[in-house]
Structure 1
């Protein structure tokens, strides 16, 4: 009986469905930006666990596609409720649903799902981190995440926000407790994790993509930040064989 405590029985066909609380918890973890919880969910291949999710199609792949569309619809709306710009959330939803046209295997279906929930979760994490920040700091954040490919300096942020470089530096220390350069470096390294996990780009390509001075410098910073070399990180967490175009990757990160 304990095994069924998270499920509910449909009286018409006696199919056991997951209790809505279990699904709602997952969606809330996305909307709250809980990256660790969503990463764990993906690593456990929960999307492929069909116990209690209901059968929407007799074809296994089509069944997953239907459930994917339901998930995207719920997640996009929950993210709007939790602070994501409506147009951005729905545009992201459209992008992933349109991506279903290219899916022809269950493996690729799971990869798309994991990309989608990781993408939304990462964006919600940034939104929550920005909550309560001053307007200049929010503008700095927007600039940083829109220019991760470029070399970003305090002077760039100062000019963008019409403030002095010293004021911006002090703002980062006061509101975030880190230096501007440390924050920018961490943002680039976090984004590089996505490419290590979800693309086949080489280390030198990733280093160049985010404008690190060299591959060795990128590797050194990455290991200091994560405790793993980029190569070891990829070996441990690599979950797809998806090779995105630059447009796909920027959509994935932005």
Structure 2
């Protein structure tokens, strides 16, 4: 029997009406909450366990773990698309999606899928909260930001960005400073340091390896730049924050790029 004929029989079976699905409006509102950075709504949804077998998700597999994995992929795809439409950089949106979906390969229980789901949606929500509070940029500047994100491991110059956009470096430099309040070089440095902070927290790369991966001219230059931005050396930062995750609180995001109103705890 073909799959199409099997579906016709299932569709005609009264039992199909017994399969409950979450209202599309509710599901869409949740996706919108993520893409608009609505921390409270998304956290409440996670606390209520809406992403659970029998609690709002349909049946896509008879295996409960596989079923949740399928729904996880669907949820991630929808959130990625909406976040992208709302302004998240294309490369960042899809790299995050790939990262979390690939994590499913190492998961074998429903509880682990639930936990990954909640971490994924909160990660997207927090990033969109920051974006929605700070982004008023033109298309040129958003393209610049996307280029910087996707080439963060390389040495990036204002000339590279100007060539990408087909404008003069002087014009782009003035436009970037006007719209973001910082120079191109300061923005690139901030993005590289943010990436370095993640590597210091969640990897075992040495200082020289991190410096090389992010195309700093030397280890000493990396340490100097890191200290100027963060206020401490990379070694001290790793000593304090290695394998620490953040508990997101709905506190303000300040223009200095710091995350205020957050607590942290040691990963188990």
TM range (shorter): 0.5 to 0.7
Q: 1:190 aligns with which of 194, 201, 205?
A: 194
Corresponding position: 1:220 with 2:227: yes
Is the partner of 1:229 in helix, strand or coil?
helix
**Unaligned residue ranges in structure 1 (runs of 5+):** 1-11, 240-254
Corresponding position: 1:158 with 2:166: no
Asked if the contact 2:91/2:146 (under 8 Å) is kept, the reply is: no
> Which residue matches 2:180?
176
Distance 2:93 2:105 in 1: 20
Distance 2:85 2:173 in 1: 32
Q: CA deviation at 1:174?
A: 0.9
**Unaligned residue ranges in structure 2 (runs of 5+):** 1-17, 248-268
Query: Could you say if the C-alpha distance between residues 84 and 217 of structure 1 is closer, same or farther in structure 2, counting changes exceeding 3 Å?
Result: closer
Q: CA deviation at 1:31?
A: 1.9
Query: Could you say if the C-alpha distance between residues 68 and 184 of structure 1 is closer, same or farther in structure 2, counting changes exceeding 3 Å?
Result: same
Distance 2:239 2:177 in 1: 32
| RMSD of aligned Cα (Å) | 5.0
> Which residue matches 1:207?
211
> Which residue matches 1:104?
108
Query: Could you say if the C-alpha distance between residues 202 and 107 of structure 1 is closer, same or farther in structure 2, counting changes exceeding 3 Å?
Result: farther
> Which residue matches 2:55?
53
Query: Could you say if the C-alpha distance between residues 219 and 86 of structure 1 is closer, same or farther in structure 2, counting changes exceeding 3 Å?
Result: closer
Asked if the contact 1:207/1:218 (under 8 Å) is kept, the reply is: no
Corresponding position: 1:232 with 2:232: no
Asked if the contact 2:199/2:205 (under 8 Å) is kept, the reply is: no
Q: Cα deviations across residues 26-76 of structure 1 (Å, max 9, x unaligned)?
A: 4224323x3x939x94xx888797497347478653353243134124324
Q: CA deviation at 1:183?
A: 0.7
Query: Could you say if the C-alpha distance between residues 60 and 232 of structure 1 is closer, same or farther in structure 2, counting changes exceeding 3 Å?
Result: farther
Asked if the contact 1:65/1:109 (under 8 Å) is kept, the reply is: yes
Q: 2:39 aligns with which of 30, 37, 40?
A: 37
Q: CA deviation at 1:131?
A: 5.9
Distance 1:166 1:128 in 2: 28
TM-score scaled to structure 1, two decimals?
0.58
Question: How many equivalent pairs are there?
Answer: 219
Q: 2:79 aligns with which of 52, 75, 90?
A: 75
TM-score scaled to structure 2, two decimals?
0.55
Is the partner of 1:237 in helix, strand or coil?
strand
Corresponding position: 1:118 with 2:123: yes
Structure showing greater Rg = 2
Q: CA deviation at 1:100?
A: 3.5
